[in-house]
Amino acid sequence: MRIVLAPAGSCSCRPSQLRFSSSPGFFRRQPSHSPHLQEGTAWRSSQAGSCHAARRRAQVQVRAVAAVRQAVSQHAPTDIEYDAVIIGCGMGGLTTATQLAAQGAKVIVLEKYLIPGGSAGHYKRDGYTFDVGSSMMFGFGKEGTTNLITRALANVGKALATVPDPCQIHYHLPSSNEHPDGLDVKVWRRYEDFVEELSQRFPHERAGIKKLYDECWAVFNALNSLDLKSLEEPRYLLGEFFKHPLACLTLVKYMTGNTGDYARKYIKDPVLLRFIDIECYCWSTVPADFTPMINAGMVFCDRHYGGINYPKGGVGRIAESLEEGLQERGGFVEYKANVQEILMEPSNSTGAPSRAVGVRLGDGRIYRGKTVVSNATR
């Protein structure tokens, strides 16, 4: 936004043209040639005894500049009660916000940083775009229910063009007796190609490899038929159980299992078992024995089903598009909004538990909401 204030009157001490421009979070004063109209200073005539009219005009103009400045650097309103105040403008906060806004809720997202996306944001330097963290994106598939990014964007009328990744991970692992030149395996987008490549490296384990990864598909197919939400939410699980009893029973079967146990059921070669450990580690940052089978089912199969796809323009385009969709639905994103306190309504005499009713920012602003959601993870 750019606002130009035209020169005032004909007084000899008139201020020259002032230009104010704002980009998100900034209100910048471009060089003014007038020494008389400075931010926070009272207008002073350079000529003692200049006419009162000119002085009044100039004072009015100072007030106008202040009003414009306030308007341009305007914050999201603090005098309303939002349906939801959401802390953190990462993928979690934005997805929550857009889903609520798509249902007609009045939402504000508060972000302490300057850009959306959090760990899945991007920034630009010298014409180049750099991803902040995430760069290998699941969730852009076209079918099923695991295409969470596609569906989150569609919720607010957005879609992004993507570039499919033909090979998700290229493992270069150290040499062993069986693989003196090191173990080289590519996880191809096509499931059959990957299983074939791994089986060629471990021909004696061909059947076990197929059985293990096929078992992962049983988990994935169950997940991919549910309306995916938190598997830790009993009410949601109960609802899904009535809609998809078989899928839910399948998940119950795998719920407590770890990938290490399933791997050892089918595979004996210790080098291959270590490979499965590394496969798990890449996603869950823990070895197979600590990786729930539910997680392995999801990532070992969705990389072939929905695939890994890179959004054109950078990973941050996902967050930017969600933010656009949110704003188009009347939602707000407030940057440089460091939430320091969640305001609680004390429990009343009936013994009702206290509840969150708003937040206080570092600069003292207060945003009130019927619900407060914190997705402030870093």
Q: Give the footprint of ligand FAD on this chain (CB under 6 A).
A: 87-93, 110-113, 118-120, 133-136, 138, 337-339, 375-378
Q: Which residues contact 225 (CB under 8 A, 6 or more apart)?
A: 144, 145, 244, 247
Q: Please answer whether residues 301 and 217 qualify as being in contact, where contact means their C-beta atoms are separated by less than 8 angstroms.
A: yes
CB of 90 to ligand FAD, least distance (A): 2
Buried b (16+ CB within 10 A) or exposed e, 1-28: eeeebeebeebebbbeebebebeeeebe
CB of 293 to ligand FAD, least distance (A): 19
CA 166 from centre of chain? 25
Closest CB to ligand FAD among residues 82, 138: 138
Closest CB to ligand FAD among residues 108, 209: 108
Closest CB to ligand FAD among residues 179, 360: 360
| Beta strand 339-345 pairing with 128-131 | unpaired
CB of 234 to ligand FAD, least distance (A): 22
Closest CB to ligand FAD among residues 88, 311: 88
CB of 181 to ligand FAD, least distance (A): 29
φ and ψ at residue 344, rounded to 5 degrees = -115, 140
Residue 312 CB burial class (10 angstroms; 0-12, 13-18, ≥19): exposed
Sign of torsion over alpha carbons 290, 293, 299, 300: positive
Q: Please answer whether residues 41 and 101 qualify as being in contact, where contact means their C-beta atoms are separated by less than 8 angstroms.
A: no
Closest CB to ligand FAD among residues 138, 332: 138
CB of 132 to ligand FAD, least distance (A): 7
CB of 24 to ligand FAD, least distance (A): 15
Whole-angstrom distance, CA of residue 83 vs CA of residue 99: 12
Closest CB to ligand FAD among residues 147, 375: 375
